[in-house]
């Protein structure tokens, strides 16, 4: 502290603004919880603003802890770079508006994505005149027809769809898109990088809701867009100008979660397959959706694309396919939490007609198979026998 700043009010507010020097680097990357970054000179600061020199200036432009997560995701997603946003929806919005709609580009999208993604696409069409068309991404001739109808900028799919668990053929869709001048963007939230890395199969852009498997602890939200350099630059600009950048504390938590991603997801996939097999022969269950069951329409594709793990989610319809039965089932579960999320260490069950797909037109919901007694179970890392016992006890009383 210099003589110039020796008065108490100055000393307290300026105290401990840097770490004491000393040998030894932290084993865990530190949380850098700072909005602004100081530089040795105005010229240095100017060079960082101009992107002539790597560095940080202001929290919305980039932050070291979030940048560490971005580097990890760029590596896992085999991309030139990644940009993180405050939620998965913020990431999807930045990508769809920045790389398609704002450029007058047509979007051909999976007809059954996460409910808010579909609502966003419908709103972009309604309010901003975006050219959006929905297709069944497992019907290749329908995809080709949609791509050829008018020049398309983006083909948008989920690697495993929420909540019907349809599996998309990423290599085939990438070829169809590229032959017609479009890019393939894949929301890989449900598969996570453990099951599939879409860019290794030919996709251009990979999006995650980091809130789900990547964090996995149910205590932080985030989203990411990874892809080629031009997409990364556009996403960085969207984060700077529109906001929505992922704050450092969330990034730090998500990095903590990421370290156990592989272990967690493998265990969750094994449990989900055991639960799916059990439900498939249960008299009170009408139908079971899980890519690991041979009855799943894309089982062979899933095996080819994912190897021996098929995802940690099982969806099913009660035989008594009504909302009354679904409510009773949810209220009777003891171990599995009725909660609007997935991919956590803890098992969670969701009723799509009440939550994620509430905004969808009921007739369209019914057409897709999201019926009134349809539920989505995200398996955690508890003992599988306890989950099955909880489901059985609730079915008994449903």
Ligand X SMILES: Cc1ncc(COP(=O)(O)O)c(C=O)c1O
CB of 356 to ligand X, least distance (A): 6
Residue among 114, 156, 213, 351 flagged as catalytic: 114
Say how far apart CA 193 and CA 261 lie, in whole Å.
9
Q: Is 319 a catalytic residue?
A: no
**Residue 189 binds to ligand X (criterion: CB under 6 A):** yes
Q: Is 212 a catalytic residue?
A: yes
Q: Which helix (H) or strand (E) holds 234?
A: helix 229-242
Whether the CB-CB separation of 130 and 374 falls below 8 Å is answered with no
Say how far apart CA 20 and CA 389 lie, in whole Å.
54
**Residue 63 binds to ligand X (criterion: CB under 6 A):** no
CB-nearer residue toward ligand X: 188 or 317: 188
Local structure of residue 228 (DSSP, 8 states): S
**Residue 247 binds to ligand X (criterion: CB under 6 A):** no
**Residue 211 binds to ligand X (criterion: CB under 6 A):** yes
- Name the one range near ligand X by CB under 6 A: 23-31, 186-194, 241-249, 303-311: 186-194
Residue among 60, 256, 284, 320 flagged as catalytic: 60
Local structure of residue 40 (DSSP, 8 states): S
β-strand pairing of 205-209 with 223-227:
antiparallel
The vertex-189 CA angle with 108 and 363, nearest 5°, equals 55
Write down the H helix ranges in 100-137.
115-128
Q: Is 284 a catalytic residue?
A: no
**Residue 168 binds to ligand X (criterion: CB under 6 A):** no
CB-nearer residue toward ligand X: 325 or 360: 360
Nearest to 316 by CA among 341, 340, 346, 295: 295
CB of 127 to ligand X, least distance (A): 20
Say how far apart CA 249 and CA 255 lie, in whole Å.
10
**Residue 89 binds to ligand X (criterion: CB under 6 A):** yes
Q: Is 60 a catalytic residue?
A: yes
CB-nearer residue toward ligand X: 188 or 231: 188
Name which position in 114, 134, 316, 374 contacts ligand X (CB under 6 A).
Answer: 114
Binding site for ligand X (CB under 6 A): 87-89, 114, 158, 162, 187, 189-190, 209, 211, 221, 223
């Amino acid at each position: 502290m210099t003589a110039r700043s020796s008065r108490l009010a100055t000393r307290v507010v300026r105290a401990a603004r840097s770490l004491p020097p000393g040998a030894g680097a932290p084993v865990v990357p530190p949380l850098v919880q700072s909005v602004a970054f100081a530089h040795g000179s105005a010229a240095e600061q100017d060079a960082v603003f101009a992107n002539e020199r790597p560095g940080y200036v202001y929290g919305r432009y980039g932050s070291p802890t979030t940048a560490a997560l971005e580097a990890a995701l760029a590596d896992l997603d085999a991309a030139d770079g990644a940009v993180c946003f405050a939620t998965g929806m913020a990431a999807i919005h930045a990508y769809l508006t920045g790389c398609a709609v704002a450029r007058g580009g047509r979007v051909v999208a999976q007809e059954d994505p996460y409910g808010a993604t579909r609502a966003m696409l419908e709103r972009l069409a309604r309010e901003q005149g975006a050219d959006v068309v929905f297709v069944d991404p497992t019907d290749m001739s329908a995809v080709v027809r949609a791509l050829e109808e008018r020049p398309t900028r983006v083909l948008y799919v989920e690697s495993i769809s929420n909540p019907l668990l349809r599996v998309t053929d990423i290599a085939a869709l990438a070829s169809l898109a590229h032959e017609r001048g479009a890019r393939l963007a894949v929301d890989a939230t449900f598969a996570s990088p453990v099951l599939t890395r879409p860019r290794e199969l030919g996709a251009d852009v990979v999006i995650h809701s980091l809130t789900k498997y990547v964090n996995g602890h149910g205590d932080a939200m985030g989203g990411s867009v990874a892809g080629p350099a031009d997409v990364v630059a556009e996403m960085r600009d969207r984060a700077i100008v529109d906001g929505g950048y992922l704050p450092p504390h969330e990034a730090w938590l998500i990095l903590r979660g990421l370290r156990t991603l592989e272990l967690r997801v493998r265990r969750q996939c094994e449990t989900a397959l055991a639960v799916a097999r059990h439900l498939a022969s249960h008299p009170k269950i009408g139908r079971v959706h899980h890519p690991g069951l041979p009855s799943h329409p894309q089982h062979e594709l899933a095996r080819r694309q994912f190897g021996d793990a098929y995802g940690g989610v099982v969806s099913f319809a009660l035989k008594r396919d009504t909302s009354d039965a679904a409510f009773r089932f949810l209220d009777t579960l003891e171990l599995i939490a009725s909660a609007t999320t997935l991919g956590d260490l803890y098992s969670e069950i969701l009723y799509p007609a009440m939550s994620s797909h509430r905004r969808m037109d009921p007739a369209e919901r019914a057409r897709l198979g999201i019926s009134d007694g349809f539920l989505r179970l995200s398996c955690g890392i508890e003992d599988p026998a306890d989950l099955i016992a909880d489901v059985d006890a609730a079915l008994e009383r449903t």
